[in-house]
Structure 1
Amino acid sequence: MRIMNRLRARPTMVVLVAVLTVGLVATGAIGLFDALDSADSGQAGGQTPAPGNAASPVAAPGMDALGDAPKGAGYTDFGEQCPDVECVRIVGVTLKDGEHKQDSDKASDAAIDKVFKHLLDNGWARVLPNNEQDPDEVPLGESYLTDGQVLITATPVNAPDASAGLMLMHAQEPDS
């Protein structure tokens, strides 16, 4: 009976609550540090990060993937941008012969059409967005082009001499 009275005493309860609270906080802190460590490494267990994760993004395709620019156009490499797991290459398209001086939307559409038609003539394939079925209903600039290794899409660029922009990235199988 004497032991039960001591366990019910206020000082004993305070000590037990303090020990329990410290144990819970310590366990939570250890779990938090483990979770942060595995998030930083990209894999559970603190292993070395695999290529392609945020710690080492995959390099963007090179300019040589585009080949030569179509007649009347030129390319400007704006370099790699690495926002996440994979880097992309931004390329400006410049129309020669004063075509870029027309309305900017028309110039952009003309530049994209010229480059996309040139690439399609050189064996690239067109990928329609959003499960579209009829290519006649989708403007060429809203499609993607691929050669199986590289995927290209139109993107806005803010450069005075570029009529349009392209974004080059690695082609991937769906759900990969």
Structure 2
Amino acid sequence: MMSLLRSRRMMILLVAVVTVGLVASGAVGLFNAFFAQSDQQQEGEAPVPAPEMAALGEAPDATEYADLGQQCERGECYRVVAITAEEADSGEEAVETVYRHLIDDGWGRILPEGADSPDDVPLSQTYLTNGSVLVQGSTSPYTPGSTAGLVIAHAQDPLS
């Protein structure tokens, strides 16, 4: 047995086996580290939760908000809110009532692209923001019995 270990062929074979083993275990470690890092990056990019209903404040008189929950798409989360307005004849009137209420509370109006003046666009077809939250109204009801709807999300820099 000792003579086998002293032979040149056996030494070369042993060195080759050890070298292949080291390279294989290094490759496995490298792959594991790479996939663990990419999993952490994906987990680290979890979307920021949508703003809470409290961002809207109290509903206007004769109007109620119903939180329909948070939804997330493409890494962005938003909250869907149903509006039930007893005195509104249409979804547009309900959205405008809520918008006027928010504007009275200090929210600002954002015009759609291409609009030059607030007079050119119906109030219900604009967005509102308080600087950190963005509100978009929908004249279509989100649930049976509701009058209209809102989507609230975090306001972002248009370039981001």
TM-score (norm 1): 0.65
Deviation, structure 1 residue 122: 0.5
TM-superposed deviation, 1:52: 7.4
Report whether the alignment pairs 1:163 with 2:155: no
CA distance in 1, matches of 2:121, 2:44: 33
Structure 2: segments with no counterpart, 5+ residues: 1-30
Question: What's 1:172 paired with?
Answer: 156
2:130 is matched by which residue type in structure 1?
D
Which structure has more strand as a fraction of its residues?
2
Question: Match for 2:67 among 77, 86, 90?
Answer: 77
The 5 A counterparts of 1:60-71 are 60-71=50-61
Structure 1 equivalent of residue 132 of structure 2: 149
For 1:77, what is the secondary structure of its paired residue?
strand
Deviations 1:109-143 (A, max 9, x none): 11001000000000000000113111011011110
CA deviation after TM superposition for structure 1 residue 174, in Å: 1.8
How far residue 47 of structure 1 moved from its aligned partner, in angstroms, is 6.6
Task: State how far apart, in whole Å, the 2-side matches of 1:135 and 1:52 are.
Answer: 40
Relative to structure 1, the CA distance from residue 89 to residue 78 in structure 2 (aligned partners, 3 Å threshold; closer, same or farther) is same
Please list the CA deviations of residues 90-126 of structure 1 after superposition, one character each: whole Å capped at 9, or x if unmatched: 0011012xx35x4xxxx10110010000000000000
Specify the SS of the correspondent of 1:159. Answer: coil
CA contact (8 A) 2:83 2:141 kept: no
Distance, in Å, in 2 between the alignment partners of 1:47 and 1:149 is 30
1:129 to 109, 112, 117: 112
Aligned residues: 127
Question: Which protein, 1 or 2, shows the higher relative CO under an 8 Å CA cutoff with sep ≥ 6?
Answer: 2
Q: CA RMSD in A?
A: 2.3
Output the CA distance in 1 between the equivalents of 2:44 and 2:116: 33
Gaps of 5+ in 1: 1-33
Greater Rg by CA: 2
| TM-score, scaled relative to structure 2 | 0.71
> Offset at 1:64?
0.2
Distance change (3 Å), C-alpha of 1:153 and 1:49: same
SS, match of residue 116 in structure 1: helix
Change (3 A) 1:52 1:168: farther
Equivalent pair of 1:52/1:58 in contact (CA under 8 Å): no
